[in-house]
Amino acid sequence: MNNEILNSIDIKNADEIIEKLESRAGNIPDRTLTRMKTAIEFFDLKPQKIVNIVGTNGKGTVSNAIFQTLKSFGLKVGMYTSPHLVNYTERIVDNDGEIDYSVFLKLVKYVSDHEDEIDCGDFTYFEVITLAAMIYFEMKNEDILVVEAGVGGRTDATKALESSILQVITSISIDHSDYLGDTIYKIAQNKSGIMNGTKTITLNTGDALKALSEEKEKTNTTLYTSSNFEFTVGGKIVEKEMIPVSGEFGVKFLAREIKINPKQFGVFRGENYALAFAAIVTILKELKIEYDNDRIVEALNTASWIGRTEVIGREPLTILDGAHNIDAIEKLFKSVSKINHKKLITVFAIMSRKDHEHIAPIVRKNSDILIVTTNNDSKALDPETLKKETSADYSFYNLKDALEKSKELADKDDTILIFGSLYLVGEILKLIK
């Protein structure tokens, strides 16, 4: 792909391009990765240095922290994440910012137009966007790419890129169990498939670590685990679970040590930013770039990820988060419990495919006032069903009405927590703009 070809692509019917893309959401992924590998060969995509980010929770935060830090070292970095919250262009980012929407449309159309020639069946929504992103990054001649997986690892479309120098596996918990499996071990087995004989970093323990360790032996991968990390608070060595929801903490990975105070709030910040730091240390060594402690600290302290414990209002304090599985939701409530407030008013919506029956009592138990709603997606759980499951105080079919009700009920020393879906986060961000 070159600029001459790009400029020749007609995108007058932009709505049709997006409609066709979104119509692919129900297409069946090719778990053998033959379709992706054939497409990569067809488009003559050259191998690029890739850092794969795989896991259940924290992928976006870790991806962005690595991306922002590597940029500060003068590297040309591309970052591919999903899903987007408001605009498709959020998924494909580099040093120049988000991909231009017209370029995104052209690349999506370009990939779609060659589907019949590739002749491996109908592309999925994620496959098309992944290919568009990789074509774009090749055109931009990036030095390195930070690539977040969609679902799983072993058969995810991003696995087909096959030029990974490092894999970071974030916290693994139960999610997408219909495809990945119904136990931590099974899910970790799938995610471990991203390992390729290079280097992998994780802070998972228990059954997840067991599965990752087994894959390490099969693939001859160097696996860095919690035994390679050390955490400190106030100069004292602590477990990662003891990292405060805000404030400074220390991380040591191998021979490198920093003290950081990321502005992101929450009990998961210790794990996420430690993984990012370890990845950065490993990447700099791989690329033979001189280590710079101050530059890393500054980048990690200022990196933030939209829609993750994001404060969108004060008096009352209003927090927006995309937590949508049991582990993430429990950690979110634990984080919010550290905040001084009188009442916690929760606005909650969730997708019907999620484990809402088991999530419901957790949400009810931790909320003083519970408002349930929908995120305007056809796959969202009906608010009346959600009200019955959660014994919610209020239910609304209109998200704006739910938000207004929360404000009406809240005093300035209360906290409003809005969460349950990244799609919900996107809809809220549209409302408050």
In this structure, the answer to whether residues 12 and 158 fall within a common structural domain is yes
In this structure, the answer to whether residues 38 and 186 fall within a common structural domain is yes
pLDDT, tens digit (0-9, with 9 covering 90-100), for 55-83: 999 999 999 999 999 999 999 999 999 99
Spell 195-226 as b/e; 16+ CB within 10 A means b: bbebbbbbbbeebbbebbbebbeebebebbbb
In 3D, which of 428, 404, 419, 398 has the Cα closest to residue 351? 419
pLDDT at residue 366 greater than cutoff 80? yes
Of 302, 327, 357, the residue that ends a domain is 302
Beta strands in 6-154 (DSSP E): 50-54, 77-80, 92-94, 97-98, 144-148
Contact 429/86 with Cβ under 8 angstroms?
yes
Of 302, 333, 350, the residue that ends a domain is 302
CA-CA distance, 241 to 274, in Å (whole number)?
Answer: 12
What is the pTM assigned to this prediction? 0.94
pLDDT at residue 177 greater than cutoff 90? no
In this structure, the answer to whether residues 356 and 410 fall within a common structural domain is yes
- Please report, for the domain that includes residue 232, its CATH number: 3.40.1190.10
In percent, how much of the chain has pLDDT > 90? 91
In this structure, the answer to whether residues 163 and 99 fall within a common structural domain is yes
To 5 degrees, how large is the angle CA 184–CA 375–CA 180? 20
Contact 2/136 with Cβ under 8 angstroms?
no
Say which residue the tokens 């136990």 belong to.
Answer: 183
CA distances from 125 to 27, 32, 129, 133, 391 (A): 8, 17, 7, 13, 36
CA-CA distance, 154 to 158, in Å (whole number)?
Answer: 9
Mean per-residue pLDDT for 269-294? 97
Start-end of H helices in 73-144: 101-113, 115-118, 125-140
| Total count of domains within the chain | 2
The amino acid present at 36, given as its one-letter code, is M
What confidence score (pLDDT) does residue 328 get? 93
Contact 13/98 with Cβ under 8 angstroms?
no
Of 257, 278, 302, the residue that ends a domain is 302
pLDDT at residue 149 greater than cutoff 80? yes
What confidence score (pLDDT) does residue 433 get? 74
What confidence score (pLDDT) does residue 180 get? 87
Mean pLDDT score of the chain: 95
In this structure, the answer to whether residues 168 and 191 fall within a common structural domain is yes
In this structure, the answer to whether residues 294 and 217 fall within a common structural domain is yes
For CA atoms 76, 194, 310, 384, give the dihedral sign.
positive
What confidence score (pLDDT) does residue 4 get? 86
In this structure, the answer to whether residues 55 and 133 fall within a common structural domain is yes
Query: What's the farthest any 2 CA atoms get from each other in the chain?
Result: 62
What confidence score (pLDDT) does residue 432 get? 87
Q: How confident is the model at residue 175 (pLDDT cuts 50, 70, 90)?
A: confident
In this structure, the answer to whether residues 216 and 349 fall within a common structural domain is no
In this structure, the answer to whether residues 208 and 352 fall within a common structural domain is no
In this structure, the answer to whether residues 42 and 80 fall within a common structural domain is yes
pLDDT, tens digit (0-9, with 9 covering 90-100), for 223-261: 999 999 999 999 999 999 999 999 999 999 999 999 999
What confidence score (pLDDT) does residue 1 get? 80
pLDDT, tens digit (0-9, with 9 covering 90-100), for 306-317: 888 999 999 999
pLDDT, tens digit (0-9, with 9 covering 90-100), for 200-211: 999 999 999 999
Name which residue leads in pLDDT, 21 or 5.
21
In this structure, the answer to whether residues 176 and 55 fall within a common structural domain is yes
Distance in Å from the first CA to the final CA of the chain:
36
- Please report, for the domain that includes residue 401, its CATH number: 3.90.190.20
In this structure, the answer to whether residues 252 and 209 fall within a common structural domain is yes
What confidence score (pLDDT) does residue 379 get? 87
What confidence score (pLDDT) does residue 375 get? 87
Structural domain boundaries, residue 399: 310-432
